[in-house]
Structures are given as structure tokens and as C-alpha cells.
Amino acid sequence: MSGNSIGSLFRVTTWGESHGPAIGAVIDGCPAGLPINPSFIARQLARRRPGQSDLASPRQESDECEILSGVYEGLSTGTPISLLIKNTNQRPGDYQHLSNVYRPSHADFTYEARYGRRDHRGGGRSSARETAARVAAGAIAQLFLLDLAVHIDAFVTGIGEITLDIPYHELDLSQAEKSIVGCPHPPTAKRMADHIAGVKEEGDSLGGTIRCIVRGVPAGWGDPVFDRLEADLGKAMLSINAVKGVAFGAGFEAARGKGSVYNDTYSMIDGMIKSVTNHSGGIQGGISNGADIIFDVAFKPVSSIPRVQSTVDRQGNPVALQIGGRHDPCVVPRALPIVEAMTAIVLADHALRARAAKM
């Protein structure tokens, strides 16, 4: 297994490198007859695109997505959907001095240990540039889920030490789209933006957290044991660059509590059996229970910083390295559509699996 694909019935494979001619994705298993809206795909890609503010990488990419196959007269045909995004602003020369050096906390050393060689141009396949292909594929998964009345919203809840602790149902999540940091609470969003700007001036970087809320998933999506819904969602999140942690529902807070507090009881509500509380984050026994699916994703600080750092070259000689190129001081705001895309891909797959299990 090459590790470039995700999903079972709704399967996505991405390809391409940061400074190659193009990147893209192939979706296999999208049901026929789904209306494919290119404007929606473009809108999702625009949210991830660099160069949108002083707080993001200045790399300029149009991220125009071409649909090469699998769509005819605006509808999916049931055959593989191939997506192409050309790289139009490559600057591989920015990375020439890194061809024999291992950047701190990057994938340089580990890729070389795995394959015996690596693409030093921006990290090649390990670059976050690859996530544009995921967002394009995830947009089609979202269109499929919207047809099932499933809605996905991700928003920033933490940048460095600044956190948003207001419950999501007390927030207007649409405000996240209006914030350059993706936080739906304007006063907190300003503090986050100021924090990123200050750290950027210091030549450093920040990490943070994203919360994802999924509404409309019915009870019964997911599989037992190894294909639990949270296991597949967790793997999808951990496959995103810089992600180091995922927690569902009450997460680690529940580890410090008692069952009498964190057990979700059931009751008949509006003529349906529902969970009264949602400490489980909408998933129990690896299967959705009909409540909102809630999880948090933790991102480490960006590894590429302009400060001089100590490392070694291939021969083990010490090197004082200053990384050039174009990088985000904090990747978290641009990761929102990536989190949503990977969530959509997993849920689209499990929606089809749930449908197949009852046929």
C-alpha cells in the first residue's frame, strides 16, 4: 500500500508535488447523478488558497480546478472523477540550498529514511500544497452529503495560548468566514490575529486548534472494531500536515471525570429516541447516534520559520540553517477547509457503507 488513498466505497487518491507541474485527485465510487457545482469547488479551494492576508503564505496560486472525467452535463456519471490543479507559482530555486540539509521538524529526514531519496523542493509530496487536491475532492464529497442534509462546519478555537471557550451552539458559526483567522467570535478573533502578527514579527510560528461540528448524520453510520467512525475520522485528521492530536466530544476532559457525569442518557424527544447530552461527540461504539458529531483537531506550530536553527547535512555535519521560501506563521486558519474536506470524504464513504449494509 502506497498510502496515497483513503476510503472504501467512496475512495480518494491524491497525486502531485509542491513544485511539480500540477497536483490532483481521483475520486472512485461517487454515485451517478450527483449535480457537480464547479463554483462550490472553487469556493472551497479559495478558502484554503495562500496569499489571502498578511497572516498567510504570500505564495500566489489561482487553484483553478479542472474536471477531466466522471462528469457529463453537470452530473456525475458514476465513473472515476479526475481533478487537476496546475501549479502556476512554483519557485523551486528557493529550496536549492536544502538539497543536502535536513530541516528541523520537517519530513526531509524521514522521507529519505523511508524511500532513500526525497524531493527537496518545498517538501515535495509532504508539502501542505498537496491538501488543495484533498479540498477539491472533499468539495464533491460535501455536495453528496448536502444532498443528504448533512452539514459540516469547522472553526478556529485556539491560536497559541488564546482560546475560545464559548459553546458552539451559542455562536454564529457563519462569522468564521468573515474572520481572517477563522474564529466566529470577533473579539477573540482580533486577539488571535494580533497574536499571529506579533509572532510573525519575531520570526516564529504558532499552532492552534480547530473544532468541527457535523449536523444531520443519522444514527447508524460507522462500523465496529477497526473501522469505527471516530477511528476513520481520526486517521483522516492525523493525515493532515501539522496535526498532532484529535479528541471527540468531551475528549481528554472526560478522562478526568466520572461515568455518572459523562454518560449520555437517552430519552424520547420529539417522537424520536435521542441522546439528552452529547459528551460522546455523536459517536458511540464506533457508530453515529444521531447527535451532532463534535471533535477537536490540534495543530503544531509551523516548522518553517525564518530564524536561524541548528541542524545537520546528509553527512552529519552541523549546519546553521535559515529557511527561505514562503510560509505561514500559523497554518490553522487555512486548515479549516482541509478539516471539512477530510471529514466529508470519510462521512461520504460511511454513508455509502451504511446504505450497502442494509440492501
Q: Where are the beta strands (DSSP E) in the chain?
A: 5-6, 11-16, 22-28, 65-69, 71-72, 75-76, 81-86, 151-159, 162-163, 208-215, 243-248, 266-269, 272-275, 283-284, 287-288, 293-299, 308-312, 318-322
Residue 80 DSSP SS3: coil
- The per-residue pLDDT for 237 is 98
User: Stretch 218-239: mean pLDDT, rounded?
Assistant: 97
pLDDT tier, 94 (very low <50, low <70, confident <90, very high otherwise): low
Residue 101 sits in a domain whose CATH number is: 3.60.150.10
pLDDT for 59: 58
State the amino acid at position 5 in one-letter form.
Answer: S
Please tell me the pTM assigned to this model.
Answer: 0.94
pLDDT, residue 246, reads 98
10-44 residues labelled b (16+ CB within 10 A) or e (exposed): bbbbbbbbbbbeebbbbbbbbeeebebeeeebbeb
State yes or no: pLDDT of 326 exceeds 70: no
Q: Tell me how far apart the alpha carbons of residues 325 and 215 are, in angstroms, rounded to a whole number.
A: 39
Q: What residues does 269 pair with on adjacent strands?
A: 272
- Give the residue numbers spanning the domain of 283: 5-357
Does the pLDDT value for residue 315 go beyond 60? Answer: yes
Q: pLDDT (tens digit, 9 = 90+) per residue, 122-174?
A: 677 888 899 999 999 999 999 999 999 999 999 999 999 999 999 999 999 99
CB 77 within 8 A of CB 70: yes
Identify the band that residue 121 occupies on the pLDDT scale cut at 50, 70 and 90.
Answer: confident
Place of cell 467570535: 185
What pLDDT is stored for residue 355 in this prediction? Answer: 94
Report how many domains make up the chain.
1
The angle subtended at Cα 210 by Cα 205 and Cα 215, nearest 5°, is 165
So what's the pLDDT on residue 31? Answer: 98
Dist. CA 68–CA 127, nearest whole Å: 24
pLDDT value, residue 247: 98
Residue 111: is its pLDDT beyond 90?
Answer: no
Q: Which of 2-11, 76-85, 102-111, 144-153 has the lowest mean pLDDT?
A: 102-111
Instruction: Choose the weakest-confidence range: 101-105, 119-123, 261-265.
Output: 119-123
Helix, coil or strand: residue 258: coil
Q: Over 90: is that where the pLDDT of 187 sits? A: yes
Would you state the pLDDT for residue 89?
Answer: 72
> pLDDT digit string (tens) for 63-79?
899 999 999 999 999 99
Please tell me the predicted confidence (pLDDT) of residue 117: 84
What pLDDT is recorded for position 124?
76
| Segment 194-226, tens digit of pLDDT | 999 999 999 999 999 999 999 999 999 999 999
